[in-house]
Structure 1
Amino acid sequence: MAHRHDDLAGHDPDADWSLPGWLYTDPEFFEVECARIIRPSWQIVCHESDVAAPGAWRTLAYLGENIVVLRGEDGVVRAFHNVCRHRAMRLVDGDSGCARKLVCPYHAWAYELDGRLTGVPMRRDYPALALEDNGLVPVEVEIWRGFVFVRLEDDGGPSVARMMAPYDHEIAPYRFEDMRRLSDVRCRERQVNWKNVGDNYSDNLHIPVAHDGLTRLFGKSYAIEAAGWVDRMSGQLVDRASDDPWERFYQRHLPPVPHLPAENQRLWLYYKLWPNMAFDIYADQIDFMQWLPLSPTTCLLREMTFALPDERREMKLVRYANWRINRTVNAEDTWLIERVQQGMASSSYAAGPIGRSEVCLRSFAAKVRDRIPEARLHRAPPPGWSRRVRAI
């Protein structure tokens, strides 16, 4: 099993230790990590093709915020807080829709697709109102290879393009920009801290132990590396026919994909972007997943599947086989992380030693410690520690 690491930890004395268990259960740490890690980070909302027409919109809810992404009459994709400036009513409800204007269902204040407030019933009744100062509150947007991301706050962190730069050349042949959604957003709540999902995603050592199917498919080719803001995992499909019928079907019937290099035809690629998003990239399709924090011990998995239009019957069947294979993998991972979460709450667990080969876990832990120094403590500090830090 190969692994490579661009060392972010340097001479960090804690580099050989995992993040401690209290970080996965503590309400106070949860509030701090949401503020310092999740709010300033990029979060995927949709693909550009999901808001193709003027007025088309999609929403994303997390950390108590509801964000609406929409395309303006000028063709520009923008994002705003989905909150009326009058009485804080949500302007649009649901996951998606299309509108010529955003009209508040409470008092009918009307906003243009570029966020300007242009309609207020009984306008003269509001002596303090200036239309130009009460447009929708914007949210920062980045479009990377056709995917639309938003960020609640800018702390000087890297763009999505910068994070993915080490692998942009590898991703380019897949033509993300031309892909379309195969299925709508799937959301599933999990009884685990959000970090547990990401830790498991980048954990190389559990593959041969817990995932018989992936081991049959990849043999010993599974490899990982950490490059700055991205973890990369990969495996080449072996030629030996699997004993599992869906795995065997996928091996035998995956059709050639002309736009991909020969070495990518049977390559499965996995990229985890800081701090809570991942792309699973196959020759037949790509899956996107993010794990959004809900509480110290729960999170929401948000998943989407995209692919290039392909009407070949064998491609449709192979995509179904892909889903069957990964449904098993997801069930195995859910079983694992739920039990890890339970163990994190045990008084017997502080922090565990971390191996040199666990380069992705090392990289993630280093960035968490950089943003929240208390993450170095193997046991939780006395309650109120975050308020004392702010007071200094």
Structure 2
Amino acid sequence: MSPEIERSLPAWIYSDPGFFERERESVFRSAWQVVCHVNDVPNAGDYQTLDFLGEQVLVLRGNDGVVRSFHNACRHRAARLADGSHGNCGHRLVCPYHAWSYGLDGALLRTPPWQGFGDLDLSQHGLAPVEQEIFLGFVFVRFAPGLPSVAQMMSPYLDELAPHGFETLVPQGRVTLRPRSVNWKNVADNYADGLHIPVAHPGLTRLFGPSYAMEAQPWVDKLWGEVAETPSSNWSERGYQALMPVFDHLPAEQRRRWSYYKLWPNLAFDVYPDQVDFMQFIPVSPTETLIREISYARPDSRREARAARYLNWRINRQVNAEDTVLIQRVQDGMGSSSYVSGPLSPDEVCLASFARRLKADIPEAGLPHPPAKAA
């Protein structure tokens, strides 16, 4: 008897407002989110912010050198404290609404004397902390307990990540935000879909040949390909191939490997010999997603390293353009009355793993159609 074929997630959960609200509470409250790298906030008073499903997070470097995460809201009347995606607040944070001031450790330092708060216990009104984990230099936060630590979730790959020196990475430019009119799961699905590579990404196919592979661990998927030595017909790819031996800080088996790690539920790290990119699929509404991304690299001023990073950008700019069209095609097709879900190939292990995980968190994800609403 042949084994039962697994199926993809049903189309209705890629646009249903009620299911989106279930995800907000059952999936994302306890999910780890990347805010920045510690090297994005190198000096006292440096900060980075993240807005995520109504929550506002502030990561701040203290005078003592410690990086801390707080809710970006004044304890008086909830006014947003730090503006923009990043900046430096000096020696204290001052609320622009009523001038309450906070130290870089989050402690409430002062309220204006004319406001009548003379008897207020300042020690009880510091900034509200957000649970934080610093993993290999990246600052993660979450809003409720539940999942294992990031280190535990990523544990199957710690040894192979070590040579890349994540802790030493420095930002290459600033965070880019790319809005997409699709459900966040369509972005996540596409990232972990290996079968479309030879169909829709000719550049990656030239680079990897038949070497592209994937595997699913309990909390993280890994996809990877080996950059071929046979020169590509495309000049960007051919130039990049020629620069692979430059990255001799890596063991020989990793110098030509592009590895992709997708952490449950909506984070991804693209790990190249020349740089590391992170992508975040931020849910905005049932049919809107904000892709948040930035590149980091080991300090390396060599001309060859700079050239490799530039060529990497050229190659992946084309890949991103191709993926943008693909995920919109899928989102549009999800609205067809003819489609419920599709069969998954035995090779689509990452998609199957993602579907099982979501169904475990929200059992309705296993229903072919939305549950009937109570009368």
What's the TM-score, normalizing by structure 1? 0.92
Q: CA deviation at 1:258?
A: 2.2
User: Residues 305-348 of structure 1: CA distance to partner in whole angstroms, max 9, x if unpaired?
Assistant: 00011111122112111101001111111100001001112222
Counterpart mapping for 1:171-250 below 5 A: 171-250=161-240
Specify the alignment match of 1:150 in structure 2. 141
- Label 1:299 to 1:124 Cα distance change in 2 as closer, same or farther (>3 A): closer
Structure 2 residues without counterparts, runs of 5 or longer: none
Q: CA deviation at 1:129?
A: 3.6
Opposite residue 86 of structure 1, the aligned amino acid is H
Percent of paired sites with the same residue: 56
Specify the alignment match of 1:117 in structure 2. 108
CA distance in 2, matches of 1:30, 1:222: 33
Match of 2:80 among 67, 87, 90: 90
Partner SS, residue 220 of structure 1: helix
8 Å contact from structure 1 (residues 15, 366) kept in 2? no
- Label 1:14 to 1:61 Cα distance change in 2 as closer, same or farther (>3 A): farther
User: Residues 15-62 of structure 1: CA distance to partner in whole angstroms, max 9, x if unpaired?
Assistant: 711110011000010011011111211010111111122221110111
Specify the alignment match of 1:139 in structure 2. 130
Specify the alignment match of 1:337 in structure 2. 327
Specify the alignment match of 1:3 in structure 2. none
Q: CA deviation at 1:126?
A: 4.0
Specify the alignment match of 1:10 in structure 2. none
CA distance in 2, matches of 1:206, 1:166: 26
Q: CA deviation at 1:197?
A: 0.5
Opposite residue 130 of structure 1, the aligned amino acid is D
**1:103 and 2:94 correspond:** yes
CA distance in 2, matches of 1:33, 1:69: 25
Opposite residue 44 of structure 1, the aligned amino acid is V
Number of aligned residues = 372
Match of 1:364 among 350, 354, 367: 354
Specify the alignment match of 1:295 in structure 2. 285
Specify the alignment match of 1:67 in structure 2. 57
| Alignment RMSD | 1.6
8 Å contact from structure 1 (residues 21, 351) kept in 2? yes
Q: Which moved more, 1:327-336 or 1:50-59?
A: 50-59
Partner SS, residue 284 of structure 1: coil
**1:265 and 2:255 correspond:** yes
Partner SS, residue 154 of structure 2: helix
Q: CA deviation at 1:299?
A: 0.5
Partner SS, residue 138 of structure 1: coil
8 Å contact from structure 2 (residues 246, 305) kept in 1? no
What's the TM-score, normalizing by structure 2? 0.96
Runs of 4+ residues over 4 Å off in structure 1: none
Q: CA deviation at 1:131?
A: 1.8
User: Residues 143-185 of structure 1: CA distance to partner in whole angstroms, max 9, x if unpaired?
Assistant: 0011111111112x11110111000000000001111011110
Opposite residue 361 of structure 2, the aligned amino acid is R
Q: Which has the higher contact order (CA 8 A, sep 6+)?
A: 1
- Label 1:145 to 1:384 Cα distance change in 2 as closer, same or farther (>3 A): farther
Match of 2:32 among 25, 36, 42: 42
User: Residues 268-315 of structure 1: CA distance to partner in whole angstroms, max 9, x if unpaired?
Assistant: 111001110111111111111111000000100000100011111122
Specify the alignment match of 2:367 in structure 1. 377
CA distance in 2, matches of 1:325, 1:359: 26
8 Å contact from structure 1 (residues 14, 376) kept in 2? no
CA distance in 2, matches of 1:312, 1:349: 52
8 Å contact from structure 1 (residues 255, 315) kept in 2? no
Q: CA deviation at 1:128?
A: 7.9
Partner SS, residue 339 of structure 1: helix
**1:318 and 2:304 correspond:** no
**1:280 and 2:273 correspond:** no
Q: Which moved more, 1:23-32 or 1:314-323?
A: 314-323
Partner SS, residue 329 of structure 2: helix
- Label 1:384 to 1:73 Cα distance change in 2 as closer, same or farther (>3 A): farther
Q: CA deviation at 1:259?
A: 1.4
- Label 1:29 to 1:65 Cα distance change in 2 as closer, same or farther (>3 A): same
- Label 1:376 to 1:96 Cα distance change in 2 as closer, same or farther (>3 A): same
Opposite residue 118 of structure 1, the aligned amino acid is L
Opposite residue 370 of structure 1, the aligned amino acid is A
